[in-house]
Amino acid sequence: MRAILFHEAICPHGVSWSQRYRECVEEAVLSEAVGFDGYAASEQHFANGEATISAPEIFLAHIAARTTRLRLRIASVNFLPFNHPLRVAEQIATIDILSNGRAELGGARSNNPYTLDGFAVNPALTREYRDEHLSIFGEAVTKGVVERDSPYFKIPRRKISPLQAGERHIPVHLSATSLDSHEEAGAMGVGVMSGLSILGWDYVQACITAYNKGADRAQPVAGSLTRRQALFSVGVNCHADRATARAATEENTLRFIEVIMDWMTKLAKRATDYEYFAAIEAIRKNMRNLDYLVDSAPYIMVGTPDDILKQCRKVYEMGIDDVIWRVDGMGYDTNRAALEMLGKHVLPVLHSWPEHPASTQPPQALAA
């Protein structure tokens, strides 16, 4: 099992955005030193300090220059018209070259109504935009030339640089929350980043089953086959004392739960593709109860090393390949202490568990 550090550059009270960016870079460098396998940066807009990375392609290029081993993933590009698919292909290819083959592309439809409204995107069309993005990216990496005439993109025949057709294998992953999106990701031959495990362990299993159903009939559209299932967890903190670990992340995590409850409630009312978000109402009565949220689902992984290993072992046995951990928002010193604790006591155990037979392996970095 691999572990990926995930940052949104959350700014605790009194911390400026510029300070938090610099801290994130140092935490990324530390994560490589303590044994993390990958680093991921989000693309968020208009989040007012809750998630401040809006240009992850620039952020990851800087991380690439400070590290040598970490795989680097955008998690996730908004597959929407304001991110033109040819620009996305150019950006991820540039990161891959500069990092010696360590880039991975993560993409999403977007579940943030503030982003959709800010860029005047119709939420009813996000699935169509996603599919077009993946198809165009696949054409770019396999042929090096793209031509498209669809309702969404008009592209005359153009050669894509710095891509050389067939030269580089760039794994592609989709953020998914609905069962349909999990199955669609599997069928399109891309990895999945499961992001709504707050709905409980049964929902996690249903997402895994849906992804495998699609993956068993995969027709890769993004240039090559990637079959890996990752689980996204927020509020991740590790400490020798369980109560101390939970106290350090409680405010930050519960504030995030409020944010996503707001997003999902709004979108569920606006587009049929997001109606399933209404299911999150089932946890509204416990949204301020951290102990309940931790115990009822793997969405929040916090506690002692043994606590976290117990949750990881359960999702691993269910079929999850990778964990994506948001260690963020607790303050620089606490974040670093958590990374060191995870590296010393948790990651060696995760790395001892064998890969699932059906899963593809991440490509190796190229020689510098």
Separation of alpha carbons 276 and 274, rounded Å: 5
pLDDT computed for residue 121 by the predictor: 92
pLDDT tens per residue across span 96-127: 999 999 999 999 987 778 888 899 999 889 99
pTM of the model as a whole: 0.93
The per-residue b/e assignment along 108-120, b for 16 or more CB within 10 angstroms, e otherwise, is bbbbbbbbbeeee
**Biggest CA pair distance of the chain:** 60
Residue 140, classified by CB atoms within 10 Å of its CB into exposed (0-12), middle (13-18) or buried (19+), is buried
The per-residue b/e assignment along 6-42, b for 16 or more CB within 10 angstroms, e otherwise, is bbbbbbbeebeeeebbebbbebbebbbebbbbbbbbb
At residue 260 the predicted structure's pLDDT band, cuts being 50, 70 and 90, is confident
Residue 89's CB is within 10 A of a number of other CB atoms, namely 26
Over residues 126-145, mean pLDDT = 94
Separation of alpha carbons 227 and 229, rounded Å: 7
At residue 269 the predicted structure's pLDDT band, cuts being 50, 70 and 90, is low
Residue 276, classified by CB atoms within 10 Å of its CB into exposed (0-12), middle (13-18) or buried (19+), is middle
pLDDT computed for residue 235 by the predictor: 93
Share of the chain above pLDDT 70, in %: 93
Could you give the residue ranges of the DSSP H alpha helices within the chain?
17-34, 56-66, 85-98, 113-118, 126-143, 179-187, 201-215, 242-268, 290-296, 305-318, 332-345, 347-352
pLDDT surpassing 80 at residue 70: yes
pLDDT surpassing 80 at residue 338: yes
pLDDT surpassing 70 at residue 279: no
Nearest to 324 by CA among 174, 222, 216: 174
Q: Which of 13-17, 60-64, 213-217 has the lowest mean pLDDT?
A: 13-17
Residue 221, classified by CB atoms within 10 Å of its CB into exposed (0-12), middle (13-18) or buried (19+), is middle
Separation of alpha carbons 231 and 80, rounded Å: 23
At residue 276 the predicted structure's pLDDT band, cuts being 50, 70 and 90, is low
* Cis check: omega of the bond before 162, within 30 degrees of 0: yes
Range with top average pLDDT, 164-168, 191-195, 269-273: 191-195
User: Which tokens sit at 286?
Assistant: 């416990």
Given the structure tokens 């249903």, which residue do they identify? 206
Written as one string, the DSSP assignment of 73-128 is EEEEEE-STTS-HHHHHHHHHHHHHHTTS-EEEEEE----HHHHHHTT--GGGHHH
Average pLDDT across the chain, whole number: 92
pLDDT computed for residue 187 by the predictor: 98
pLDDT computed for residue 91 by the predictor: 95
Nearest to 282 by CA among 290, 298, 274, 293: 293
Residue 63's CB is within 10 A of a number of other CB atoms, namely 23
Long-range pairs of 202-208 with CB within 8 A, sequence gap ≥ 24 = 203/297, 204/231, 204/297, 204/298, 204/315, 204/318, 205/318, 206/179, 207/176, 207/179, 207/182, 208/182, 208/318, 208/319, 208/320
Say if strands 103-108 and 172-176 run parallel, antiparallel, or are unpaired.
Answer: parallel
Separation of alpha carbons 177 and 158, rounded Å: 34
State CA 320 to chain mean position distance: 14
pLDDT computed for residue 109 by the predictor: 86
Separation of alpha carbons 187 and 211, rounded Å: 8
Given the structure tokens 């579940």, which residue do they identify? 111
Over residues 182-190, mean pLDDT = 97
